[in-house]
Amino acid sequence: MSLIRSKALSFEYIRRDEEGNVEGITRAVDNVSLDVQQGDFVAILGHNGSGKSTLAKHINAILHPTEGTVWVDGMDTSDENNLWQVRQTAGMVFQNPDNQIIGQVVEEDVGFGPENLGVPTPEIWQRVEESLKAVGMSEYRNHSPNKLSGGQKQRVSIAGVIAMHPKCIILDEPTAMLDPSGRKEVIRAARALNDVEKITVILITHYMEEVIYAGKVLVMDKGHIKMQGSPREIFSRVEELKELRLAVPQVTLLAHELKKRGLPIPDGILTTYELTEALMKIKRTEG
Amino acid sequence: MSIIFNHVSKSYDADTQLKTDALKDVSFKIDDGEFVGLIGHTGSGKSTLVQHMNGLLKPTSGEIYVDGKDIADKEYSLKDLRGKVGLVFQYPEHQLFETTVFEDVCYGPKNLGLEKKEVELRAYEALKQVGIEDDYFYQSPFDLSGGQKRRAAIAGVLAMKPEVLILDEPTAGLDPKGREEILELVSRLHRENNITVILVSHSMDDVADYADRILVMDHGKLVYDDTVHEVFKHVKELEEMGLAIPQVTYMMYDIAAKGVDVSTDITTIDEAVEEIMKVWSK
Ligand SMILES: Nc1ncnc2c1ncn2[C@@H]1O[C@H](COP(=O)(O)OP(=O)(O)OP(=O)(O)O)[C@@H](O)[C@H]1O
Ligand SMILES: Nc1ncnc2c1ncn2[C@@H]1O[C@H](COP(=O)(O)OP(=O)(O)O)[C@@H](O)[C@H]1O
Ligand SMILES: [Mg+2]
Ligand SMILES: [Mg+2]
């Protein structure tokens, strides 16, 4: 079943001066038609300013289309009456955790969402515990979020969304500020939410390695969806991606370079495991 | 400019229950013209450390010497220090507050007491350097995308023409091309103008590609201070600290584990290509 769908979605930011005269128009999303099924794991790539966040903000009704329509679980996001329901269905974690943290204490912050939804208290605590554990922040439950470092804050925001048990979670560069293990934990948590709970995950990221787990990758360019396909299909197109200001995982690039130097290595290598296998195969056939 | 930390410790909220020891007895020396990578898990004290370098934070104990002078001295001008040691914060939003991008970039050089024309020239140059197009100059910095904000913040510091450039996770949130552009820019400033660079990063790949030396922080302590190749030999220890080694280095370990005689002392793609071609064309 289609959980998130958009038809000919366009969005324009309109800048006005003090008198309200229009100074400029930015068409941040341009004619995007999207169809995400319940349980999908979709990654969105794209250069800075390509419209990823603008698109994402339509999915939980922070922004409304200038043209076209967006449906979340069948609900038109432009209909005011659906606002709460849409936001509960699609939870969002933003680029900057500072804007999202409200509680004075970590566990309070994480419990805020479910509390607002009217979840009974004992269950709130259980959800808080699970969510903090999922992002590896249990030991900070009594800390003040303000005093956490950037990466720690981001993990708390993710826990806050997970605690609302949404059908879909949209992660807008959730790992941008995390250390390597933090990134691994968050991606692992996102994959687990998807695999185990069947929560639909939409992951926006600039880290190419994080995308290899997605079922489908969308590549945005200047407000359009320019490429889409499986990670392997997308990462086979190394030169095209470079032109779109993107890249491939380091190991994919290494494989690409080795192929250019004459080693018979297949396109679209995604992991060190795959490249090692490909290299060992060459050794075996030669030796 | 040389920077010396001599047994520097820093506690936040020292007299309260919430006391955090963010730096614990940290000592090192950075020489003029070095390119140093600073890595560590989130909360390890990286941002705290770099904010001591331009006097934004004061040590709880220990001393910091810049060009041989103790920056805690009464006669020492912190204003001059901030002109010479440019810090690009972890969050660009913290540095952007003027009504237009251009004014924002002018803020730093204006504070140095330069005349208007010079200020504007520098701002223009810096914005061009970081790749922000003229169209955006007179927009509100708050209307920029995440990556554009980051560039504007970096431009604000570059416009002060610092001798030491500290970048606290400058590439987080940038697209891959933008990451490369910023790092190439920094690397060029380092090579051509002999600027000392301290790069805080969570990207082991980037640190391996650009830095000559790495400082590793773990729970407030400086645990390694060595060349890139030496530091990345501590695979287990780094992983236990929440860090990693570059993906190409992992790759070499995977190959070696198959019984192939390859070097694992490899930290960049170029090195890996050479090593693999050498072994595979035997
Ligand atoms: N609040 C706003 N007002 C006006 N223009 C905006 C606003 N937010 C974004 N824009 C513009 O819309 C376009 C798309 O921005 P958006 O934030 O969606 O990009 P993005 O793909 O998320 O980029 P990044 O990778 O840098 O986060 C950009 O040209 C940006 O300058
Ligand atoms: N302003 C502050 N007040 C209190 N504690 C802080 C403050 N800033 C950072 N800390 C704490 O100091 C430690 C080091 O943080 P930080 O320097 O931001 O680390 P990093 O930059 O390596 O992520 C962390 O435990 C963090 O929670
Ligand atoms: Mg964005
Ligand atoms: Mg930091």
Position A8 scores a pLDDT of: 97
**Ligand sitting nearest the alpha carbon of A153:** 2
pLDDT digits (tens, 9 = 90+) for B58-91: 999 999 999 999 999 999 998 889 889 999 987 7
For an interface test with A, give the residue of B139, B202, B207, B255 to mutate (most A CBs within 10 A): B202
B12 touches chain A (CB under 8 A): yes
Give the pair of three-digit tokens for residue A245.
């200001």
Instruction: Find tokens 């495991």 and name the residue.
Output: A273
Average pLDDT value over all residues in chain A? 91
Rounded CA-CA distance A47/A58 in Å is 19
What percent of chain B shows pLDDT beyond 90? 73
Q: Strands A75-76 and A90-93: what pairing?
A: unpaired
B137 touches chain A (CB under 8 A): no
pLDDT digits (tens, 9 = 90+) for A45-61: 999 889 999 999 999 99
Give the pair of three-digit tokens for residue B122.
């520098």
SS3 string of A145-198? HHHCCHHHHHHHHHHHHHCCCCCEEEEECCCCCCCHHHHHHHHHHHHHHHHCCC
Who lines ligand 2 at CB under 6 A?
A 147-149, 151; B 12-13, 20, 22, 40, 42-48
Position B129 scores a pLDDT of: 87
SS3 A204: strand
Mean pLDDT of B20-45: 95
Give the global pTM.
0.88
Q: How confident is the model at residue A99 (pLDDT cuts 50, 70, 90)?
A: low
Which residues of chain B lie closer than 8 angstroms to A176, CB-CB? 172-173
Q: What distance in Å separates residue A206's CA from the closest CA in chain B?
A: 5
Q: How confident is the model at residue B205 (pLDDT cuts 50, 70, 90)?
A: very high
Between these two residues, B96 and A172, which has the higher pLDDT value? Answer: A172
SS3 A275: helix
Highest mean pLDDT among A222-236, B97-111, B147-161: A222-236
Mean pLDDT of B209-223: 97
Position A149 scores a pLDDT of: 63
| Side chain identity, residue A22 | V
Position A197 scores a pLDDT of: 77
Instruction: Write down the ipTM of this complex.
Output: 0.86
Q: Is the pLDDT of residue A250 over 90?
A: yes
Position A24 scores a pLDDT of: 85
Residue ID of nearest Cα to ligand 1 atom 22: A53
Who lines ligand 1 at CB under 6 A?
A 13, 15, 26, 28, 46, 48-54, 95; B 143-148, 175
Position A73 scores a pLDDT of: 96
Q: Is the pLDDT of residue B163 over 90?
A: yes
Which residues of chain A lie closer than 8 angstroms to B277, CB-CB? 258, 261, 263
SS3 A266: coil
Note whether A223 and A28 are within 8 A (CB).
yes
Q: Strands B20-30 and B213-218: what pairing?
A: unpaired
Least confident of A140-149, B162-171, B177-186, B218-227: A140-149
Cβ count within 10 A of residue A8? 12
Position B71 scores a pLDDT of: 95
Give the pair of three-digit tokens for residue B153.
């913040």
Residue (of B256, A89, B16) closest to B265 by Cα position: B256
Q: Cα of A95 to ligand 3 centre, how many Å? A: 7
Q: Cα of B8 to ligand 3 centre, how many Å? A: 38
pLDDT digits (tens, 9 = 90+) for A186-220: 888 788 888 887 889 999 999 999 999 999 999 99
Positive or negative, the Cα torsion across A63, A68, A73, A77? positive
B280 touches chain A (CB under 8 A): yes
Rounded CA-CA distance A33/A89 in Å is 20
| Side chain identity, residue A19 | E
Rounded CA-CA distance B234/B236 in Å is 6
Decide if B258 and A280 are in contact by the 8 Å CB cutoff: yes
Contacts of A77 (CB under 8 A, 6+ apart): A58, A59, A60, A61, A64, A65, A70, A71, A86
Least confident of A57-61, A179-183, B1-5: A179-183
Q: Is the pLDDT of residue A98 over 70?
A: no
Instruction: Find tokens 């650009």 and name the residue.
Output: B210
Domain limits, chain A: 4-231
Position B92 scores a pLDDT of: 64
CATH numeric code, A4-231: 3.40.50.300
Q: Is the pLDDT of residue B93 over 70?
A: no
A273: part of which helix (H) or strand (E)? Answer: helix A272-286
Strand order in the sheet with A67-72: A22-37, A2-16, A67-72, A75-76
Between these two residues, A24 and B249, which has the higher pLDDT value? Answer: B249
